[in-house]
Amino acid sequence: MTSISPPKNRLWWNEPIEKVELIWITLVFLWGLVMAFMMPYWHVAGNQNLSNETYKITPAAYLAKTQAMVDQYTVRTGPAPKNFPVVHPPAGSDVYLVARLWDWWPILELEKDQTYRVHLSSIDWQHGFSLQPAAINIQVVPDYEHVVSLTPNKAGDYSVFCNEYCGLLHHTMINTIHVVE
């Protein structure tokens, strides 16, 4: 095609498709079909979805439930400077974790290979619950209580941090879940 070609010959849709272009277009189309079918399939068959529940609750009511758990199961005080209570609830029980500027409260101590129902809620802003190295991520918002079944299968410390920007000291919103034998 040259600049002296008549206008009707210069329209791209009138040009013949090269064999290499046709091969690439076919490959991209087929890969798009594979991905389009894999996403719903993996959603169902990939066992990647959290078994969680969500309930409407006021921040005051959630804080009261958490405080009742802390009052009943506190075993010691955590390290300075925060000195948060370390809570060791019985295996299989419901445990509560509060997100607030800029803390996860209290510190949880769970038993290895035991299942717990972890309740999460925020009493002020939107936060993100990230549990590492378990790679669990949940968006935590005020007025909603999120419940996740958690079975720690390895003893040690799991890091809990906020992965949703929540203000000036967002980077300090870190806590630990201790898993004991």
Which residues sit opposite 99 in a β-bridge?
104, 122
pLDDT exceeds cutoff 60 at 154: yes
Cβ atoms of 162 and 170 within 8 Å: the answer is yes
Average pLDDT over residues 41-45: 81
pLDDT exceeds cutoff 90 at 45: no
45-54, 89-98, 100-109, 112-121: lowest mean pLDDT where? Answer: 45-54
Domain-by-domain residue ranges, the chain?
A: 7-45, 52-180
Q: Strands, E, within the chain: which ranges?
A: 52-56, 74-77, 85-87, 94-100, 103-105, 107-111, 116-122, 127-132, 136-140, 144-150, 156-162, 174-180
Average pLDDT over residues 103-129: 95
Three-class DSSP category at 20: helix
* pLDDT of res. 40: 86
41-45, 62-66, 121-125: lowest mean pLDDT where? Answer: 41-45
pLDDT tens digit sequence for 69-80: 999 999 999 888
* pLDDT of res. 133: 87
Average pLDDT over residues 148-176: 92
13-17, 34-38, 123-127: lowest mean pLDDT where? Answer: 13-17
pLDDT exceeds cutoff 70 at 6: no
- Give the integer Cα–Cα distance in Å for 137 and 128: 7
pLDDT band at 147 (very low <50, low <70, confident <90, very high): very high
Which pTM value belongs to this model? 0.73
pLDDT band at 5 (very low <50, low <70, confident <90, very high): low
Cβ atoms of 153 and 133 within 8 Å: the answer is no
pLDDT exceeds cutoff 70 at 3: no
* pLDDT of res. 2: 59
Name the CATH superfamily housing domain 52-180.
Cupredoxins -  blue copper proteins (2.60.40.420)
Average pLDDT over residues 146-158: 92
pLDDT band at 43 (very low <50, low <70, confident <90, very high): confident
